[in-house]
Homo-oligomer: A and B are copies of this chain.
């Protein structure tokens, strides 16, 4: 393969022809585009203000004005300019494109364009091409039951919701991965450009292989202001912007000519041709090293074409255009006149015919069918989605000895890393699905022992690396690793919402970095369900590893299980949390998650060698039930217990098992039932969550009235909120992470948080002794013993630096 080097040049990219010449040559086409923009601007502006007289058939009166003025005008004219020119590009090149709109509240503009191209009408037939259709479009904006002021799943062509800012660009990169023919244009606004997630997402091109993936065309739209003040990027000079984005690796063109249409026309052509050049080079075996993808920076006045000035203050061109430029139009006749003049400056009579239908020369500006950006098939990921080819789970089964069998892994032996085993399975998932499954990870794939996947693939990275840099390179590769959880999440969202599959493994403590993104995504899922034309996409699968219980070496800062709580804040229909206790359960869980659609699945499993408990058959049954009595670990099969001991999570379950074993030997008269819960949501009431156990099944697992000790992986508060409302909850004692951590030993983490086997034993003895005279006779004695054991423990680990051997190498027998 030939590699040509394209070193950064610190100069703006030149158009093929000067802007003035574009105006001369393409004058008619530009005029048509400008007229289209007038229609789009008119529709955008009136959505914010009008509830009647939407085509200005009569003079504007206060009663035509909405009672509550909501919406954001400032960003709309820029979006309309971009949309119009993207339409032109699509028609010229028959391009396969759609748009990700970053600016938060630009929906009036998007809606205007989607109306004109007819995509909106395909899903909302009453938004017809007549006066009634325009009336409904305009009135229902920011109206109860209508469209919100930002994009959401009810708007076709949308894969990114403009709520929390910062993720548009990385979402666009995720969408083009493995879609070689797709170009996703992405508008990044002033506000968004200040966020950290956007600031690092500019590196996205370094993860896009131009041979296997499509391209993102970023359009940084600077109108100079955010809500109430100038934006950082708006105050940067052209030179500063040029340097910055040359540094990121782009070729830059700034569209800021007085003739914005002509400038944008030429720039779009330039950008599309540059994209083609880079792709063709890579696809013909002449890969360009460090390809410099095009970037368009659009400087346009905020609220361009709007009201120039009111009450002696300029409106167009500064932050006063951000939302509703004039708020008192209902009561202030002068302002009402300004508003009417503004609307009439678009000459609506030239835009809509007598029936209210947009004139054909306007509609002709739009592409047709699936080339319309609101109808691009990739934006309906659920329709594009192909289920994964999944290997046979039993090929990866960790052999676990049944009590009656004599081969395989000893039950309770700590010889297997659960995530390592899953790595083998994922390796084969990758091999069987070479084009629609990716792993996104913040540089923790190896640390989390998923490295078997590197046997068949590599990290996908486009900038040159060294010969000893491990499994990394520009030619394909299913692994995307960069140290930005935000970017991993947004890449994955873009990938999923365009119909593909993925996995996001992460350290537990740092997955919470994407808390609000996950919330926004769950909201997107919830809303999506309201629209039958938007079938569900693959679930968003988190594999949360390196959990607090085994981050004893990294210390307190690495100990934070809060992401579980955040997932459970989501509605029951979308949130799933699994804590498989061993490798076979983890395999079964991951296999289930990769098949599922429409959920946020959080799977929690450690990477360290841990005891194995269940054969694959038993694991599948256990996972299907969500939780079950482990009769073989219980006294008398768990029938009529004094105490129920429940483990939720791999490390807490190990302590439960150790406690059960010790009790069986030392206090055989104390009858223990051992339960493991792997699907956390079974604890919810069945009226609250579809996985929730009904009262009978709940009693069957936890008895109707016996004391229950729960040893939970996360914060006890979570179990408390789930059990609330169950009968007799005072019998539940809940252990979990009490935010007590430091650099210490694994067992000391359990001791500090009161989840250790010895704590469990003392709790069980105390609870049983209250009701059971068999136990109470020896209870005090044993409790004192374990208090002593715990007291001695602290000194021991400080002296030796490690846990006693019998704890580290504990085995079930």
Contacts and interface: CB of A to CB of B under 8 A. Distances in A.
A570 B562 CA distance: 10
A557 B152 contact: yes
17 contacts: A67-B801, A144-B743, A144-B801, A145-B797, A148-B555, A152-B556, A165-B483, A194-B203, A230-B461, A235-B463, A236-B463, A246-B247, A515-B515, A515-B562, A515-B566, A718-B721, A723-B724
Contact of A228 (B226, B443, B519, B743): B443
A711 interface: no
A444 interface: yes
Interface stretch (A271-279, A466-474, A497-505): A466-474
Contacts of A147: 743
A483 B232 CA distance: 9
Contacts of A161: 557
Contact of A509 (B163, B246, B247): B163
A487 to B, nearest CB: 7
Given A230-B466, A509-B516, A196 B487 contact: yes
Contacts of A483: 165, 191-192, 194-195, 226, 231
Interface in A541-567: 553-558, 560, 562, 565-566
A67 B239 CA distance: 56
A391 to B, nearest CB: 25
A564 to B, nearest CB: 10
B162 A557 contact: yes
A379 interface: no
A639 interface: no
Given A482-B232, A556-B152, A743-B146, A196 B194 contact: no
In order of increasing CB-CB distance, the 5 nearest A-B pairs are A163-B557, A244-B247, A196-B196, A199-B199, A243-B247
Nearest to A194: B483
Q: How large is the interface on A (under 10, 10 to 19, 20 to 34, 35 or more residues)?
A: 35 or more
A577 to B, nearest CB: 13
A374 B417 CA distance: 41
A730 B724 CA distance: 8
Contacts of A195: 196, 200, 483-484, 486
Interface string A192-206: 101111111111001
Interface string A450-462: 0000000001010
Contacts of A527: 556
Given A196-B198, A513-B516, A191 B10 contact: no
B748 A144 contact: yes
A739 B526 contact: yes
A164 interface: yes
Nearest to A66: B801
Interface string A687-727: 00000000000000000000000000001011011011100
Interface of A: 7-8, 10, 51, 66-68, 70, 105, 142-150, 152, 161-166, 191-192, 194-203, 206, 225-232, 235-237, 239-249, 313-314, 318-319, 443-447, 459, 461, 463-466, 468-470, 472, 481-484, 486-487, 509-510, 512-513, 515-516, 519-520, 523, 526-527, 553-558, 560, 562, 565-566, 568-571, 715, 717-718, 720-721, 723-725, 729-730, 738-739, 742-745, 748, 797-798, 800-802
Contact of A8 (B229, B243, B510): B243
B196 A164 contact: no
A424 to B, nearest CB: 19
B557 A164 contact: yes
A477 to B, nearest CB: 11
A145 B744 contact: yes
Contact of A569 (B67, B164, B558, B717): B717
Given A243-B8, A243-B246, A520-B557, A513 B232 contact: no
A461 to B, nearest CB: 7
B145 A798 contact: yes
Nearest to A235: B463
B556 A562 contact: no
Contacts of A143: 743, 798, 801
